[in-house]
Structure 1
Amino acid sequence: MAGEPSFFELGVADPERGRDFYGALFDWDLQPGPSGRGFTIGTAGVPGGLHGGDAGASPYLFFRVDDLDAAVAKVLELGGTTEELGGEDADSEARFGRFKLCRDDQGSAFGLHQPPEGH
């Protein structure tokens, strides 16, 4: 179903420290991510990720869409903006799908997520 929360991302300065902190706090299973620079977060609910080099970042909440390109076009049509994530590769896309960071027409951040085929 489009529009439901489907992924979250935590940005921290040091991903190893972030893994230790959030793993201990929530008993999450954090495994190395496909890029080798962060971790995937296994929860009983919405899956997530943790990346480094982003001190003081707010959590990103991604909303599911069926067609990322069409959703991005709609964001732009409605006066919003989009930003590149960087570090995306074919392995990551095959495992997790496609992502796009966005801002609404008032500057509030959110993300769009098109899950991989069959999910």
Structure 2
Amino acid sequence: MTGEPSFFEIGVDDPERGRTFYGTLFGWDLERGPSGRGYAIGTPGLPGGMHGGDKGAASPYLFFRVDDLDAAVAKVLELGGTIEELGDEGEEDPGSAARFGRFKLCRDDQGSGFGLHEPPSRAG
């Protein structure tokens, strides 16, 4: 199935401060992520992540599951949306992609941000 929320991502300037703040506020279990630069967030519901380097008032992203990331990206562009170029999106690190899948940050045709997430293949 596609379109259901699959995870959320919080961008902060300093991941250590973010870990302290959100971990204390919500009682979340935050473990170092595979890149070593952020955290995986364990919640009783939707899984999440936290990354650093976002200055100012960054907004959380909600990622929606898709079966084919490349086809979904093409559809976003066809509909007038845009794709954010970030550099490290889980694809340069094969271990990370195998564990978390592939993802892209997008903007709809009005500029609102969201994410697309293709979970890792269970085959193999």
Q: TM-score range by the shorter chain?
A: over 0.9
Aligned residues: 119
- Is the partner of 2:18 in helix, strand or coil? helix
Deviating beyond 6 angstroms after TM superposition, the runs of 4 or more aligned structure 1 residues are none
Counterpart Cα distance in 2 of 1:42 and 1:116: 18
**Residue in structure 2 matching 1:117, options 97, 118, 121:** 121
Number of the residue aligned with 2:45? 45
Q: What SS class does the counterpart of residue 99 from structure 1 fall into?
A: strand
TM-score (norm 2): 0.91
Q: Which runs of 5+ in 1 are unaligned?
A: none
Q: What is the identity percentage for the equivalent residue pairs of Structure 1 and Structure 2?
A: 78
- Tell me which residue corresponds to 1:16: 16
Deviations 1:59-90 (A, max 9, x none): 01100000000000110111111012322321
CA distance in 2, matches of 1:81, 1:50: 23
Aligned partner (choices 98, 101, 122) of residue 97 of structure 1: 101
Amino acid at match of 1:113: H
CA distance in 1, matches of 2:86, 2:33: 15
**Equivalent-residue separation in structure 1 for 2:87 and 2:5 (angstroms):** 21
The equivalent residue for 2:78 is 77
Q: TM-score normalized by structure 1?
A: 0.95
Give ranges in structure 2 of 5+ residues lacking alignment. none
Q: Deviations over 1:23-69 (max 9, x none)?
A: 11111110001111100001111111001110221001100000000
Q: Distance in 1 between matches of 2:70 and 2:119?
A: 13
SS at match of 1:116: coil
Deviation at 1:118, TM superposition (A): 2.3
Alignment of 1:21-36 (within 5 A): 21-36=21-36
RMSD value, Cα:
1.2
Instruction: State the shift of 1:92 in Å.
Output: 1.3
